[in-house]
Amino acid sequence: MAVKFLPSADSAVIVEFGDRIDRAVSDQVLGLAARMRASEIAGVIEVVPTFRSLMVHYDPLRTSAKELVGAIERVSTSETAPDRKRRLWRVPVCYERDFAPDLESVAQETKLTPDEVIALHTGTRYHVYMIGFVPGFPYMGDLAEALVLPRRADPRVRVPPGSVAIATTLTAIYPLESPGGWHLIGTTPIRLFDVHASQPALFAPGDAVEFEPIDAVTFATIQTATERRAYRPASTELSA
Amino acid sequence: MTAALKVVAPGLHTTVQDLGRYGHQAFGVPVSGTLDAASHRLANRIVGNDENAPTLEILFHGPTLELIADSVRVGIAGGDAEIELMGDRPRSLGGWRSVMLRRNQIFRVSRLGDAACCYLAVEGGFAVERCLGSASTYARGGFGGLDGRALRAGDALPLASEQATERAELGLAEPPQSSREWPIRIVLGPQQDYFTEAALKSLVRDEFVVSKQSDRMGMRLDGPTLAHRDGYNIVSDGIATGAIQVPGSGQPILLLADHQTTGGYPKIATVISADIPVVGRRKPGDPIRFIAVEVAEAERLCREAEADFQALVANLAPLRPTGELDASRLFEANLISGVVFDEL
């Protein structure tokens, strides 16, 4: 699919690479985001990567859509691609009954046992496609095919923070209490968004995430340490 | 005690806002900031502040505040809002102007008239901590402004300055023309191809009305439903302020300051940046008509709106005192003699 430039009035240009959730499309989006951040084009306020497009917010008093599209085209074809720093995060998740309100129903709907659901969920390394919906909410994929389910018919008004959820081909963690229609199969004691941290969101688009099962006792220990800001999940730098 | 404005009554939804929190949308953090940046900027200019200094955004019904400091200069801009001095005989000190207040004076912001919001600036600004580079309150996320929430009775809003400077009060001789009936200019897209021809025609032909189900995140529009060509789910993409998204119901939602950074409904059109403040001050029940323009025209209109704003600032002029008799100051200024005083 050819790259499309779509206007959002006179305040943003969307650079659209595709119309589906796809790793190759995501790599194009994140590649352009890195190039844009490295090049500091005049009038660009910020760039927001999504599954399939990069939204470029701009100041119409400092540039125009026409100039901007030209600059984006030059940046995207320039020889030097900046290093994309990516991290692999290991996220502890408690999948025990009290921490996983929808694990049973997911097992039933997928014709698996709860243990098989957990094994499939922890057996995949996920890609952080984008962050949106609420501050710090990571959309990650792709789920093992056997776990793919539509969203719940009956969305919850309140999903507790730390809930680990699945829906369609994706998995996510709710950073704050919010409404939500995904299936809740576990809970993590870690904090995904802390407005007082130098980098408020733990994950960045492009990072990788693996889930590790923990029991309720470990959950409580990590939760206490997290509240004292004395715990950070393990992570390692990945080469691009 | 530190200089503060004490909240006697909070009003309906009064929050600290500035021009917004930029640079964190890639992490899902909304921009927030004022609904009507033009009035916020003017309120700041009236008291001699930087345009990005935090102000109080007052929605629908104003707060009552008490000054806990020697003196403060406040500026009010938006709708028909005026500063009203409380006491045995409450009296208005006017709107679209600055006013000097003294220790323990209690004042309130009167009815806003035909605007949803107005802005109260204080000379020197409010001394609230910046969060991710901005003082704007994002109530859903619980951060920014004063404790990440709207004002409550008993709050003390810290002031950066203990005392007002000595200078003439500034204001507009005439309030700006009401924008309630102005058409709202839009650029179609980014997903206009998800809608039927009939929906695209209806968008620029029919009248919409601001629904009661509106908040700082978005404004629902009553009126004709806008039909999708086939399906209303898109793979999530970015959202700009002013985007008009249409969920399955066909009832459009115009996204405002606290909108999500990304979303999965198609956006039929986006309000041009010049008209974001105009739409931000519309109230439930107000009519909205849309006119479609091209991007280059929207960019020209943005420059024009900025020039209009600068002209408004240039019109700010020194005003006569608010009528508060202060005999000792009048004597000092040699404006009245004992004889005249006797005749009074």
- Spatial neighbors of A77 by CB under 8 A, at least 6 apart, are none
Our CA-based measurement puts residue A186 at a distance from the nearest CA of chain B, in whole angstroms, of: 22
Rounded to whole angstroms, the Cα distance separating A43 from A146 reads 46
Strand partners, A53: A16
DSSP 8-state code for residue B178: P
- Please state whether the peptide bond connecting residue B10 to the residue before it is cis, i.e. omega within 30 degrees of 0: no
Question: What is the enclosing helix (H) or strand (E) of A209?
Answer: strand A208-214
Contact A227/B at CB under 8 A: no
Sign of CA dihedral A213, A217, A221, A226: positive
SS3 B70: coil
CB atoms A48 and B295 under 8 Å: no
DSSP 8-state code for residue B145: T
pLDDT single digits (tens) A176-214: 999 999 999 999 999 999 998 878 999 999 999 999 999
Judgement on whether residues A187 and A204 belong to the same structural domain of the protein: yes
Question: How buried is A151 (Cβ within 10 angstroms: 0-12 exposed, 13-18 middle, 19+ buried)?
Answer: middle
- Nearest residue of A to residue B29 by CA position? A135
What's the pLDDT score for residue B339? 38
Rounded to whole angstroms, the Cα distance separating B108 from B92 reads 9
Contact A57/B at CB under 8 A: yes
What's the pLDDT score for residue A130? 98
What's the pLDDT score for residue A83? 75
Which DSSP string corresponds to A105-165? HHHHHHT--HHHHHHHHHTS-EEEEEE-SSTT-EEEE---GGG-BPPPSS-EEEE-TTEEE
Judgement on whether residues A192 and A214 belong to the same structural domain of the protein: yes
What's the pLDDT score for residue A16? 97
- Nearest residue of B to residue A48 by CA position? B26
Rounded to whole angstroms, the Cα distance separating A154 from A110 reads 18
Q: Where in chain B is the domain with CATH 2.40.100.10?
A: 184-293
Which residue ranges of chain A lie beneath pLDDT 70?
A: 1, 79, 240
Judgement on whether residues A63 and A108 belong to the same structural domain of the protein: no
Alpha-carbon distances, residue B194 vs A4, A8, A169, B188, B289 (angstroms)? 16, 15, 23, 11, 21
CA atoms within 13 A on the CB side of B225: 8
In one-letter notation, the amino acid at residue A94 is C
CB atoms A195 and B238 under 8 Å: no
Give me the CATH number covering residue A53: 3.30.1360.40
CA atoms within 13 A on the CB side of B261: 29
Contact B310/A at CB under 8 A: no
Chain B interface disruption, residue of A3, A10, A170, most B CBs within 10 A? A10
pLDDT (tens, 9 = 90+) of chain B, 344 residues, equals 589 999 999 999 999 999 999 999 999 999 999 999 999 999 999 999 999 999 999 999 999 999 999 999 999 999 999 999 998 888 999 999 999 999 999 999 988 999 999 999 999 999 999 999 999 999 999 999 999 999 999 999 999 999 999 999 999 999 999 999 999 999 999 999 999 999 999 999 999 999 999 999 999 999 999 999 988 888 999 999 999 999 999 999 999 999 999 998 999 999 999 999 999 999 999 999 999 999 999 999 999 999 999 999 999 999 876 555 444 444 444 444 433 333 33
Give yes or no for a contact between B266 and B191, defined as CB atoms under 8 angstroms apart: yes
Give the domain-ending residue among A35, A57, A77: A77
- Nearest residue of B to residue A21 by CA position? B235
Chain A interface disruption, residue of B262, B267, B271, B273, most A CBs within 10 A? B262
- The token pair at B37 is 């940046």
Our CA-based measurement puts residue B192 at a distance from the nearest CA of chain A, in whole angstroms, of: 10
Mark out the alpha helices in chain A (DSSP H runs): 23-39, 65-77, 103-110, 114-122, 216-227
SS3 B54: coil
Our CA-based measurement puts residue B35 at a distance from the nearest CA of chain A, in whole angstroms, of: 16
Give yes or no for a contact between B234 and A18, defined as CB atoms under 8 angstroms apart: no
Residues in B closer than 8 angstroms to A65, CB to CB, are: 295-296, 299
DSSP E strands in B159-289: the ranges are 170-171, 184-188, 208-214, 218-222, 237-238, 243-245, 253-255, 262-263, 267-271, 287-288
What's the pLDDT score for residue B321? 66
Give the domain-ending residue among A15, A43, A77: A77
SS3 B183: coil
Residues in B closer than 8 angstroms to A130, CB to CB, are: 236, 262
Contact B129/A at CB under 8 A: no
**Domain membership of residue A70 as a residue range:** 4-77
Judgement on whether residues A102 and A148 belong to the same structural domain of the protein: yes
Number of structural domains found in chain A: 2
Our CA-based measurement puts residue B214 at a distance from the nearest CA of chain A, in whole angstroms, of: 18
Backbone angles phi, psi at A156, to 5 degrees: -85, 145
Query: Which residue is listed with tokens 């009245």?
Result: B336
Considering CB atoms only, which of B24, B28, B190 is closest to A14? B190
Rounded to whole angstroms, the Cα distance separating A175 from A188 reads 10
Alpha-carbon distances, residue A17 vs A127, B140, B229 (angstroms)? 18, 32, 22
Residues 157-196 of B with CB under 8 A from A: 186-187, 189-191
- The token pair at A131 is 């962050």
Our CA-based measurement puts residue A139 at a distance from the nearest CA of chain B, in whole angstroms, of: 10
CB atoms A200 and B29 under 8 Å: yes
What's the pLDDT score for residue B1? 59
Residues in B closer than 8 angstroms to A195, CB to CB, are: 131-132, 141, 143
What's the pLDDT score for residue A239? 76
Strand partners, B237: B263
Interface A–B counts its CB contacts (< 8 A) at: 150
Give yes or no for a contact between A10 and A65, defined as CB atoms under 8 angstroms apart: yes
- Please state whether the peptide bond connecting residue A83 to the residue before it is cis, i.e. omega within 30 degrees of 0: no
Our CA-based measurement puts residue B140 at a distance from the nearest CA of chain A, in whole angstroms, of: 9
Nearest-5° angle of CA A201, CA B255, CA A152?
A: 65
At the top level of CATH, the class of B184-293 is: mainly beta
Judgement on whether residues A188 and A133 belong to the same structural domain of the protein: yes
Go through chain A and tell me how many residues it has: 240
Residues 237-296 of B with CB under 8 A from A: 237-243, 260-263, 267, 269-273, 295-296
- The token pair at A61 is 């008093």
Give yes or no for a contact between A196 and B132, defined as CB atoms under 8 angstroms apart: no
What is the ipTM metric for this complex? 0.95
CB atoms B237 and A61 under 8 Å: no
CB atoms A9 and B235 under 8 Å: no
Considering CB atoms only, which of B28, B234, B236 is closest to A135? B28
Judgement on whether residues A99 and A210 belong to the same structural domain of the protein: yes
Rounded to whole angstroms, the Cα distance separating A223 from B261 reads 29
Rounded to whole angstroms, the Cα distance separating A216 from A96 reads 7
